[in-house]
Amino acid sequence: MATMKSNIESVWRQIEESIEAGDGRNGIIKRLIMPQWKNNLFLGVEIETGKRLFVFEAPYKVLRNLGALPQTNGFEASIRYLGDEQENYLSLFIIVKKTQFHDLFVSLIKDILGHLGPQDTERSVEIVISRLLRWQKFLERFHFEGLGEEAQRGLFGELYFLNRLIEFGVNSHTVIRSWRGPERTVHDFIFQTCALEVKTSISKQHQKVYISSERQLDNSQSGELYLCHFSLDNQSGLGFSLNQIIQVIREKIDNAPLVTELFEDKLFESGYLDIHSERYKVPVYSIREYNLFKVTEGFPRIVENDLIEGVGDVKYSIMISECKHYLVQENAVLSMIGDAASYG
């Protein structure tokens, strides 16, 4: 993937350099890429604006019924006739809207090419549209510049627990498949025998965590439910950054391509892109305290059955000190998850 990214950037830079040298006065300049796939794929630059673009030439009969194409603040997709296509061909045309989003556009095109291959043209067009739709949803949910501090910390907590499971010996595919935080389901992990919610905090006193709904600590549908709390220190300079915990997991699953692909898809759904990695070098988190609590009768929480009619969308906080009566040993919880995975 890194080689593909550098190749994409290299082609665009070459075109940009040719424009600076006076190659063309208007229109676009484009270069054929991936000729071995026998699909007409091009990278290009709009001369007047300097905007980068991607072009997929396909038969008119394939492109004519696509309907409305995905649009975001970052890119624009359209069907165009550029004038140099093969007979009865049109161009699926994707252009970045603002030059400051060029790095993000590299990731978009790298993602498209990573899912394409020597398929027939019609199937390739479907793949391009599906990736565009995915990126449309991504850019509606997340900021162009990356995750904010709270989102980084939440993702770190989920990944740290995920890594603990893999270290314990639970099957990595089961672990990553069970990680539901990126999908914004009620619980962050849903296993065969239980569900688990991960919370982090960094305040030095009166540790508390925030609960986003009356369903988040409701185990009426999930069976056993556990709350995992990490108290983080981001001042010591020891521990892991968000980048580092991701790299640790990547190295552990490197020999399993399908697991790696699933993990990268979930990172994407979480809002993590490698192009923002500079932003995530700090803070570095160390674990000051780590506890697992069993959410059961008497646990400090609000659940749906507690609400009077007409009340909903409840958000509240709970003090970690009041959860200590429900403390359970990590080994017992991880063993239960691992045993279920082995027999599942």
The tokens 């539901």 sit on which residue? Answer: 180
- Judge whether residue 307 has pLDDT over 90: no
User: CB neighbours (10 Å) of residue 134?
Assistant: 18
In a shared domain, residues 13 and 135 = yes
Average pLDDT, the chain: 88
Highest mean pLDDT among 17-21, 71-75, 257-261: 257-261
- Judge whether residue 229 has pLDDT over 90: yes
Strands (DSSP E) contained in 124-220 are 189-190, 194-201, 208-211
Please tell me the distance from the alpha carbon of residue 174 to that of residue 258, in angstroms, as a whole number.
Answer: 12
Please tell me the distance from the alpha carbon of residue 235 to that of residue 238, in angstroms, as a whole number.
Answer: 8
Joined together, the tokens standing for residue 14 give 């070459």
End residue of a domain, out of 141, 172, 194: 141
Mean pLDDT of all residues in 119-138: 88
In a shared domain, residues 184 and 38 = no
pLDDT digits (tens, 9 = 90+) for 27-56: 889 999 988 877 789 999 999 888 999 999
Helix (H) or strand (E) holding 326: none
Find how far residue 67's CA is from the centre of its chain.
Answer: 27
Please tell me the distance from the alpha carbon of residue 33 to that of residue 187, in angstroms, as a whole number.
Answer: 43
Tally of domains within the chain: 2
Give percent above pLDDT 70 in the chain. Answer: 94
What's the confidence (pLDDT) of residue 2? Answer: 44
Q: When comparing pLDDT for 166 and 145, which is higher?
A: 166
End residue of a domain, out of 103, 121, 141: 141
End residue of a domain, out of 141, 158, 188: 141
In a shared domain, residues 282 and 162 = yes
In a shared domain, residues 182 and 204 = yes
What's the confidence (pLDDT) of residue 254? Answer: 92
Q: When comparing pLDDT for 273 and 119, which is higher?
A: 273
CB 10 within 8 A of CB 116: no
Domain span including residue 111:
2-141
In a shared domain, residues 78 and 164 = no
Query: Smallest Cα–Cα separation from 27: which of 125, 105, 93, 76?
Result: 93
In a shared domain, residues 118 and 203 = no
Q: Calculate helix-pair angle for 2-20, 102-115, nearest 10 degrees.
A: 130
In a shared domain, residues 53 and 73 = yes
Classify 41 as helix, strand or coil: strand
Confidence of residue 4 (pLDDT cuts 50, 70, 90): low
In a shared domain, residues 79 and 220 = no
Query: Smallest Cα–Cα separation from 151: which of 194, 98, 212?
Result: 212
In a shared domain, residues 127 and 167 = no
- Judge whether residue 3 has pLDDT over 60: no
pLDDT digits (tens, 9 = 90+) for 316-336: 999 999 999 999 999 999 999
In a shared domain, residues 290 and 257 = yes
In a shared domain, residues 204 and 157 = yes
Q: When comparing pLDDT for 120 and 194, which is higher?
A: 194
In a shared domain, residues 113 and 161 = no
